[in-house]
C-alpha cells in the first residue's frame, strides 16, 4: 500500500507531461530554439507552472518534521559546485535541445508508443551506463580501456 501514492504521483506527472506537450519532441525543440526564428513559446506556462509549484511546495514541505508517509527527508547538504555538475548540466541541455526529450517525458512517450522515443532510449541507456562506468572508478584514473 505504501507504493500506491508513488504510483499515483507518477501517473499525475505523466498526465501533466502529456497535457503540457512535453512528450512531443518537435514542440520541445520549437520552445528551446529561441534563435531559429520559429520560437514556440507555448511551453513557457508549463515551465512557469512547474517552477511555481516547486517553489511553494518545497518551502512548505521542508517545514514539516518529516514526510507524510514516514521516513525522513533527504535534502542535499553539499554546498560546492564541482565542475562535473556543469559538464553534466551542459550535456543534459544539449541532448534535450537536439532530441527534444529529457528522461521523464521520454519514458512517458515510450509507454505511449511515440516512435522518436524508441530512437532516444538507447542513447539514454548508453549515457547512464557511461556515467556508471566513470563513477565506479577511483578519482584521477581513466576507466579501463580509455586513455593511457
| pLDDT tens per residue, range 25-58 | 989 989 888 887 788 999 999 889 999 999 999 8
The pLDDT value recorded for residue 148 is: 45
What does the mean pLDDT of the chain come to?
85
In the chain, what percentage of residues exceed pLDDT 90?
A: 24
Look at the alpha carbons of 11, 22, 118, 129 in this order and tell me if their dihedral is positive or negative.
Answer: negative
Query: CA–CA separation, 39 vs 30, rounded Å?
Result: 5
The pLDDT value recorded for residue 114 is: 85
What are the grid coordinates assigned to 52, written together?
A: 511555481
Distance of CA 103 to the CA centre of its chain: 5
The domain limits of the chain are 4-136
∠ CA(54), CA(58), CA(62), 5° rounding? 170
pLDDT, one tens digit per residue, over 99-126 is 888 888 999 998 888 888 888 888 889 9
Amino acid at each position: 500500500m505504501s507504493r500506491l501514492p508513488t504510483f499515483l504521483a507518477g501517473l499525475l506527472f505523466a498526465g501533466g507531461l502529456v497535457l503540457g506537450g512535453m512528450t512531443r519532441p518537435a514542440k520541445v525543440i520549437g520552445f528551446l530554439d529561441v534563435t531559429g526564428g520559429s520560437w514556440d513559446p507555448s511551453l513557457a506556462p508549463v515551465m512557469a507552472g512547474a517552477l511555481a509549484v516547486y517553489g511553494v511546495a518545497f518551502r512548505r514541505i521542508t517545514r514539516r518534521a518529516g514526510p507524510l508517509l514516514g521516513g525522513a527527508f533527504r535534502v542535499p547538504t553539499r554546498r560546492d559546485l564541482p565542475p562535473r555538475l556543469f559538464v553534466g548540466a551542459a550535456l543534459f541541455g544539449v541532448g534535450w535541445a537536439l532530441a527534444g526529450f529529457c528522461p521523464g517525458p521520454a519514458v512517458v512517450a515510450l509507454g505511449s508508443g511515440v516512435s522518436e522515443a524508441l530512437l532516444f532510449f538507447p542513447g539514454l541507456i548508453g549515457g547512464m551506463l557511461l556515467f556508471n562506468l566513470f563513477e565506479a572508478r577511483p578519482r584521477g584514473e581513466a576507466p579501463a580501456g580509455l586513455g593511457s
